[in-house]
Amino acid sequence: MSRASVDFVLRPFEGIPGETDWVAMREVVPAATGTARTTAEYGAVDVTVATVLPLAWPALHRGDDTIMIGLQQNAGTGDASRDLAVALLTALESPAGTPVRSLGIIEPGPRLQDVLDLDVPFEVTVHEGFDFWTAAGVELTPDVRGSLDRMNETVVPTVRMSAVESAYWARMGDKEFLRWAVPQDEEVFLDALARLHARRESGLGPSGRDGRFVGAFRSCGILVPVWDLTKGSEPEMVEEPLAELGARLTEAFAVTEPLTANERRARAGLVARQLTLR
């Protein structure tokens, strides 16, 4: 008898509080945690959602009874929400101090939208490294310690911005970038950005002085536009121009007239700037 397969879902985190932050943590944020809680049916247990766990474990029932799931997985079905629900439920059933090392064959079943209390806000904390993996005073095994040390050596400095939701400043080598997971439908966002781009207002700061739009990629059904920031930009320097860009976009979203010829040309140029992850 053949097993039922899990259907592909374009937006696996749709309907979950903080959908765009879930996507950002899965794709562009190296070290961060978020807050969640299971429904009463699943014990009303607090859950720590992490970007990544030691040795890329899908989940961990930590020795202090903390339940953790890792968003950045290399394999899975076509529905990340179902995959993560399996990881979470397996961790809940595992003894404290036990990692979930693999998920096996995943079949249709409850998704995060079924398992999590959707009234609990998703509050993100960005960390400088991965020391959040362990509770205070807990000695790590040699393999986990090695994984922690390796990850801490390569972590990309990242800061969550406050001017808009789900935007992250990052310093990669000698360059700084802003990557913003936006909640709007892709076509709606690109139309609004094209209106600004036609007026040379799609960058950060006057005439894009503080950062220019360089392209966008898509992940989990969410558009993530990227700006190349002025060299040496610190997060606090980006907050004000980002807030101003957010305000310009809000005004552009409200425009209902069709794009002008100049705006259509600007939009075509924006669409051509496709980026690959990392």
Kindly state whether residues 146 and 252 are assigned to the same domain. no
Kindly state whether residues 112 and 42 are assigned to the same domain. yes
Please tell me the total count of domains within the chain: 2
Is 8 a member of any domain? no
The phi, psi pair for 211, rounded to 5°, reads 165, 135
Supply 110's token pair. 């409850």
- Strand-pair category, 32-37 with 175-180: unpaired
What's the pTM?
0.94
What tens-digit pLDDT sequence spans the chain (278 residues)?
456 788 999 999 999 999 999 999 999 999 999 999 999 999 999 999 999 999 999 999 999 999 999 999 877 899 999 999 999 999 999 999 999 999 988 999 999 999 999 999 999 999 999 999 987 667 778 998 899 999 999 999 999 999 999 999 999 999 999 999 999 999 999 999 999 999 999 999 988 889 999 999 999 999 999 999 999 999 999 999 999 999 999 999 999 999 999 999 999 999 988 766 54
pLDDT score of 1? 43
pLDDT score of 278? 45
Kindly state whether residues 228 and 196 are assigned to the same domain. yes
pLDDT score of 5? 83
pLDDT score of 3? 65
Is 2 a member of any domain? no
Kindly state whether residues 173 and 114 are assigned to the same domain. no
Is 54 a member of any domain? yes
Question: 204: domain CATH number?
Answer: 3.30.1460
Is 24 a member of any domain? yes
pLDDT score of 276? 63
- Per DSSP, the chain holds a count of helices (H) and strands (E) of 7, 11
Is 277 a member of any domain? no
The phi, psi pair for 232, rounded to 5°, reads 90, 5
User: Within 13 Å, how many C-alpha atoms sit on residue 275's CB side?
Assistant: 18
Kindly state whether residues 95 and 168 are assigned to the same domain. no
Please report which residue ranges of the chain form alpha helices under DSSP H: 19-27, 80-93, 112-115, 142-154, 186-198, 235-253, 261-271
Kindly state whether residues 57 and 96 are assigned to the same domain. yes
pLDDT score of 137? 66
Question: Which of 155, 184, 213 is at the close of a domain?
Answer: 155
What domain range includes position 134? 19-155
- What is residue 176's three-state secondary structure? strand
pLDDT score of 139? 76
Question: Which of 104, 123, 155 is at the close of a domain?
Answer: 155
Is 50 a member of any domain? yes
Cα separation of 88 and 60, whole Å?
Answer: 8
Tell me which H or E stretch contains 202.
Answer: none
pLDDT score of 273? 85
Question: Which of 125, 155, 185 is at the close of a domain?
Answer: 155
Is 12 a member of any domain? no
